[in-house]
Amino acid sequence: MCVLPNGNTLSDLFDYAQNRWGNQFDASEKKALNKILAEDLFGFKIIASSDVKNIRVSESEILQWMRSVKRVGAGEPVQYVTGKALFYGLVFTVNPSVLIPRPETEELVEIILGDHNESALHVMDFCTGSGCIPIALKHHRPNWKMEAVDISEDALKTAQTNAEKLHAEVTFYEADVLTGEGIPEGNWDILISNPPYVAINEKAQMEASVLHHEPHLALFVDDENPLLFYERIAEISPSRLNKNGCIYLELNPIYAESSEALFKRKGFETTLIKDLSGKFRFLKAVK
């Protein structure tokens, strides 16, 4: 029998994790991680801290807990350890083939929903990753025709799994946004993208857990041309958008103005939008 030093309740698991992580995380981070692990690994819903003393755990849960605590301690993002990430109120499956959906991207979804309540729109998402954007939108606008592309076959498998689990009808295509290969025919009312936008020279400022575990293909662009994806989108969108079509992009705030200039030059009506931390993180461009 596998036993923890004191007993086999959830509270003992929490104590085990606290000790094992030592001062690697501060007290509030440790508390939050314990809660995420208990909820996402075992499905416990912890409302009050007194609950944890009364929940008994099985031997296999203890073993799974120990393995997971070790992985989190080694710097792996907790969402990859549990395989789950919350985005816009929905639980998405994640793994290292996709970026963990970010709160900024939830803001992007919020902006699009706030701007559009037309019932039937044709929407395309470039570089969809886990599929979090089109799936979250489809939940709130069930009549929209949703399509999405990504270059990574593994990311697309994850996106497809998410669409099925979350009962969202989204059509995914394997395509290279930069060459145009694989992008389906048709014209869109809304084009969305959160493409790779972190320049290699920003690596030093990044958190180790992101740098060592999240997919570089989804994050990084060359220092020489950090706006590669935005240039390409500006180039193709005039002919692919319907009249009054809109583009919504997540941006690297460092390049907000130069990203905007690309679309101004093509005659779009542009607006830079700040994220909750006050940085210009989004661009809206209207044809």
Helix %, strand %, coil % of the chain (to 5): 45, 20, 35
Is residue 188 within 8 Å of 248, Cβ to Cβ? no
Is residue 44 within 8 Å of 10, Cβ to Cβ? yes
Residue 157: count other Cβ atoms within 10 Å of its Cβ.
15
CB of 79 to ligand GLN, least distance (A): 13
Is residue 147 within 8 Å of 124, Cβ to Cβ? yes
CB of 281 to ligand GLN, least distance (A): 8
In terms of CB distance, is 46 or 219 closer to ligand GLN? 219
Is residue 140 within 8 Å of 110, Cβ to Cβ? no
CB of 104 to ligand GLN, least distance (A): 6
In terms of CB distance, is 73 or 215 closer to ligand GLN? 215
Q: Which residues bind ligand GLN (CB under 6 A)?
A: 102, 104, 194-198, 210, 219, 250
In terms of CB distance, is 65 or 220 closer to ligand GLN? 220
In terms of CB distance, is 39 or 104 closer to ligand GLN? 104
Report the SS3 class of residue 103. Answer: helix
CB of 244 to ligand GLN, least distance (A): 27
d(CA 52, CA 16): 13
In one-letter notation, the amino acid at residue 280 is F
d(CA 61, CA 11): 13
Report the SS3 class of residue 150. Answer: strand
Closest C-alpha among 57, 59, 82 to residue 71: 82
- C-alpha torsion angle, residues 91, 96, 97, 101 (rounded to 10): 40
In terms of CB distance, is 106 or 189 closer to ligand GLN? 106
Closest C-alpha among 65, 71, 10, 8 to residue 41: 65
CB of 148 to ligand GLN, least distance (A): 15
Residue 250: count other Cβ atoms within 10 Å of its Cβ.
20
CB of 91 to ligand GLN, least distance (A): 20
CB of 117 to ligand GLN, least distance (A): 27
CB of 188 to ligand GLN, least distance (A): 20
In terms of CB distance, is 93 or 105 closer to ligand GLN? 105
Give the residue closest to ligand GLN by C-beta: 197
In terms of CB distance, is 102 or 240 closer to ligand GLN? 102
> In the block, which residue shows the tokens 């395309």?
124
In terms of CB distance, is 81 or 199 closer to ligand GLN? 199
